[in-house]
A and B are shown apart, each in its own frame.
Chain A
Amino acid sequence: MYKLNFAVLTEYWPALLAGLQMTVKVSVLSIFFGTLMGVAGALAKTSRFRALRALAFTYVEWIRNTPLLIQILFIYFGLGVFFSLSPMVASVFALSFFSGAYITEIIRAGIQSIHKGQREAALSLGMTEGQSMFLVVLPQAVRRILPPLAGQFITLIKDSSLISVIAVSDLTYVAKNIVTTTFRAFEVWLAIAVFYFVLSFALSWSVRSLEYRLAKSD
C-alpha cells in the first residue's frame, strides 16, 4: 500500500520555490500587460471610431471563443515558425492577450455603467475627452469593477498552469518533474494545490481590502 511521505517536499523545496517564483513572475507580468490590453480594448470598444470598435470586437471574440491551451500552443509553436519566442515570453504573450479580452469586457461594462452626466460635467468644465475619461469616468468605473477584475486575475493565476505544456518551469511543470522521478503524486500535487490556493487567496484578500479602502467616499 501507498505510504504517505511528505519528506519529498523538503527534499525538493528549492525546486518548488523556483517554480512558485516563475508562476508569480508570469502571472504578475500577464496581469500587468493584460490590464493594459483591457484598458486599450475598452477604450477602443467605446470609441466613436467604427474601425476601432470592429478591431476590439474581433479581438475579444477570437480570444473568448478559442481554448487558452490552443492559444498558448499557437503562439509558441505556431508563431514560433516565424519568430523564435522563449517559452516564457510566449506564455506572457498568450496569458496577457487572453486575460486582456476578458478585462476589456469588464472595463467596458464599468465605463458604460457610469452616468453620462459625469462625462458631461467634466466636458462642461473644459476638460478634454481624455481628461474626462482618465480623471472622472475610469476612476469610478475601476472601483465598481474591482470584484470581477479580481476574479479575472485569480483565473489568470490558475490558468497559468497551462504554460507548463511549453516547458516553462512554473509550479505545475516542476511538480510534474518531481512526480516523474519520485512517484510521490499525492504529496506533490496536494502541495501544488495549496501553493495555488495561497497565491489566489492572497490576491483576492488584498483586492477586498483595497475595495474597503476605496469605499471611504460612499
Chain B
Amino acid sequence: MIEIAEVRKRFGRHEVLKGVSLSVAKGEVVVILGPSGSGKSTLLRSINGLETIEGGSIVVDGVRVHDGRETLHQVRQLTGMVFQQFNLFPHRTVIQNITMAPIHVQKKPRTEAEEIARVLLGKVGLPDKAEAYPSKLSGGQQQRVAIARALAMSPKVMLFDEPTSALDPELIKEVLDVMKDLAKDGMTMIVVTHEIGFAKEVADKVVFIDDGVKIEEATADRFFSHPTQERTKLFLSKILL
C-alpha cells in the first residue's frame, strides 16, 4: 500500500531524514516511535506531501507522491491525516467540518455528505454534537471529530501525527479506542505516537527512528520483548517502567 524508499529531507543545514525506507501493507498498523526531533513526524508528513523531500521516493497505492501537483492531489484523497493540534476549522460546526471536503473536493451533494457525516459521528461516539462548534468540545471530542472528518473522504490510509500528545490524560483513552476500532475494521494506519500501550496492543509493526535513521523495525511483540539494537534498548529502558 505504501512504499517509502531512501527518503531524504533537510531543513537548511540540518538533515532530518537520512535515507529512510519502509513499506506498509494493506490493513497493516504501523507505529513509529522515536525521541522528539528524530524525524518521525517529518516522515509521516511527507507521505501526504505536506513536506517536500530531497531524495528517494514515496508511493501510495501506486501513486508517486512528490511528482507534481496532480499526483499530490490524488495522494491527499487517498490518505487521511490526524494532527496533534486537531486543526478543526473553528468557524464551522462539527458537521460542516466533516462535510466540507466531501462537498468541495468530491463534489458530493450536501444531503449525501451529511448522511455520511452522521454515520461517522456515531462511529466516533459523538452523534449529538453535529451542530456544535469545535470550541464547545473537549480536546478528546475535537480529536474524534478530526478523525471523522478525515474518514469522510474514505481514505485508504490514515496517518496519525501524535494524535494524543495534546490531550489531558483522562481524554486519551477515548481517542485511542476510536483508533483501535479503526484498526479492527482493517484500516491501513501509520501512527506516530508515544503511547506504548497502544503500540503493544494494536500495532502489527513497530518502527524506531532516531536522528533521521530507521534504527529498528519489528513486529510489536519482538520489538518490545527482544529489541536487537542498543539504541532501541536504551530508548525502551527510558520509557518503559
Contact = CB atoms under 8 A, between A and B. Distances in A.
Interface stretch (B73-81, B176-184, B221-229): B73-81
A218 B90 CA distance: 8
A114 B85 CA distance: 14
Interface of A is mostly: helix
Interface in B84-102: 85, 87-93, 100-101
Nearest to B75: A126
Interface string A112-130: 0001011011111111100
A120 B100 contact: no
B198 interface: no
B136 to A, nearest CB: 9
A127 B87 CA distance: 15
B80 A124 contact: yes
B87 A117 contact: yes
> In which size bucket is the chain A interface?
20 to 34
B182 to A, nearest CB: 17
Interface residues of B, number: 29
A121 B83 contact: yes
B188 interface: no
Nearest to B78: A126
Interface stretch (A103-111, A132-140, A199-207): A132-140
A127 B50 contact: no
B50 A136 contact: no
B104 to A, nearest CB: 6
Residue among B85, B91, B146, B149 with max Cβ neighbours from chain A (10 Å): B91
A104 B104 CA distance: 27
Contact of A217 (B50, B106, B133): B133
A112 to B, nearest CB: 17
Given A131-B104, A135-B100, A123 B91 contact: no
A118 B73 CA distance: 17
Interface string B53-81: 00000000000000000000100110111
Contacts of A135: 100, 104
B76 A136 contact: no
Interface string B143-182: 0001001100100000000000000000000000000000
14 contacts: A117-B85, A121-B89, A122-B89, A122-B101, A124-B150, A125-B76, A125-B80, A125-B149, A126-B73, A128-B73, A131-B104, A140-B91, A217-B92, A217-B135
Nearest 6 CB-CB pairings of A with B: A121-B87, A125-B101, A124-B81, A117-B87, A217-B133, A126-B77
Interface of A: 115, 117-118, 120-128, 131, 135-136, 139-140, 143, 216-218
Interface of B: 48, 50, 73, 76-77, 79-81, 83, 85, 87-93, 100-101, 104-106, 133-135, 146, 149-150, 153
Given A117-B85, A131-B105, A216-B133, 10 more contacts: A115-B85, A115-B87, A117-B87, A121-B89, A124-B80, A126-B76, A126-B105, A135-B104, A217-B133, A217-B134
